[in-house]
Amino acid sequence: MLQHLKNIITGNTVSPWAKKQDRVILLFEDDEQVDKVMHFLSEVLERTETDKKSADPVAFVMDVLLPEATVHALGAVHSISLDKAKEMYMRGTEFDSSEITQLGEQLQSHISSKARQKLDSFLSNYKKALECEEFLGRL
pLDDT per residue over 20-47, tens digit each? 666 566 677 778 888 888 899 999 998 9
**In terms of Cα–Cα distance, which of 51, 30, 45 is closest to 131?**
30
Would you state the pLDDT for residue 63?
A: 86
Residue 120 lies in a domain: no
**In terms of Cα–Cα distance, which of 67, 7, 4, 6 is closest to 34?**
67
pLDDT at 50 over 60: yes
Residue 118 lies in a domain: no
Q: Which pLDDT band holds residue 114 (cuts at 50, 70, 90)?
A: confident
For residue range 56-105, list pLDDT tens digits in order.
888 889 888 998 998 998 888 889 999 998 888 888 766 666 777 777 77
What is the number of domains present in the chain? 1
pTM of the model: 0.55
Residue 86 lies in a domain: yes
For residue range 7-23, list pLDDT tens digits in order.
888 888 888 777 766 65
Rounded distance between C-alpha atoms, residue 74 and residue 82, angstroms: 8
Residue 106 lies in a domain: no
